[in-house]
């Protein structure tokens, strides 16, 4: 089983992430940021990555550090859990429709982090949650997970739907990329001999 646990403690946050890449999408996420927990639940459910996350942050300032540092910890856990990457498909893509919104994701588990973010929100907030933190989460995930990550909003008018479609499309693309290819189970998906 491809499992990992990461604990990240700074002066701003305390975060523990446990994941199982070969799970069924079970989740127990408690970050102290309600909307963010809802998004992390979607990430788990639709990637089939079991996730247990506990976070405490400097909420008296805002949610920024908690969201960003959780992205860092999840990215580090992904790297640890996937190991040498033998047998994985490596690439994933998914175009996800949610009511008024469509968001497309394409990614490469290349160890070359890069975020392309073509997503805008019609509002600055979703409830009490700053919409700019969605990008911050995916930037941290991409950087610390070694993921080339492209996320594009095709269309959408509802901020909640746009954020949720982004998390779900990334989840589905991750699911595809992390699956084991039965034709390549003992090989790296690269001509370089390393990823």
Domains belonging to the chain, first-starting first, are 3-178 (3.30.230.40)
Q: What angle do CA 34, 21, 80 make, to 5 degrees?
A: 95
CA 140 vs CA 30, 41, 136, 175, 188: distances in Å: 19, 18, 6, 19, 25
| pLDDT computed for residue 190 by the predictor | 85
Contacts for 174 with CB less than 8 Å, ≥ 6 apart: 47, 49, 92, 107
pLDDT on residue 185: 83
pLDDT at 19: 98
Q: Which two tokens stand for residue 195?
A: 């990823």
- pLDDT averages per 10-residue partition of the chain, 195 residues: 96 98 98 98 98 97 97 98 96 98 98 98 98 98 98 98 98 98 88 81
pLDDT of residue 13: 97
Instruction: Tell me what pLDDT residue 189 has.
Output: 86
Q: What residues have CB less than 8 Å from 177, skipping those under 6 apart?
A: 88, 89, 90, 91, 92, 107, 108, 109
Q: Which pLDDT score is estimated for 148?
A: 98
Looking at residue 1, its pLDDT comes to 83
pLDDT at 182: 93
């Amino acid at each position: 089983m491809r499992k990992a646990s990461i604990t990240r403690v700074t002066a701003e946050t305390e975060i523990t992430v446990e994941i199982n890449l070969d799970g069924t999408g079970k989740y127990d996420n408690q970050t102290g940021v309600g909307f963010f927990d809802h998004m992390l639940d979607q990430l788990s459910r639709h990637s089939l990555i079991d996730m247990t996350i506990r976070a405490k942050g400097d909420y008296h300032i805002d949610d920024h550090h908690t969201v960003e540092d959780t992205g860092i910890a999840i990215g580090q856990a992904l790297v640890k859990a996937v190991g040498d990457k033998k047998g994985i498909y490596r690439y994933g893509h998914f175009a996800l429709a949610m009511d008024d919104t469509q968001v497309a994701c394409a990614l490469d588990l290349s160890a070359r982090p890069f975020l392309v973010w073509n997503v805008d929100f019609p509002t600055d907030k979703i409830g009490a949650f700053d919409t700019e933190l969605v990008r911050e989460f995916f930037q941290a995930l991409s950087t610390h997970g070694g993921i080339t990550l492209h996320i594009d909003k095709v269309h959408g008018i509802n901020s909640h739907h746009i954020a949720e479609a982004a998390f779900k499309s990334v989840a589905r693309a991750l699911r595809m990329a992390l699956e084991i290819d039965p034709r390549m189970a003992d090989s790296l998906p690269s001509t370089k001999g390393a990823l």
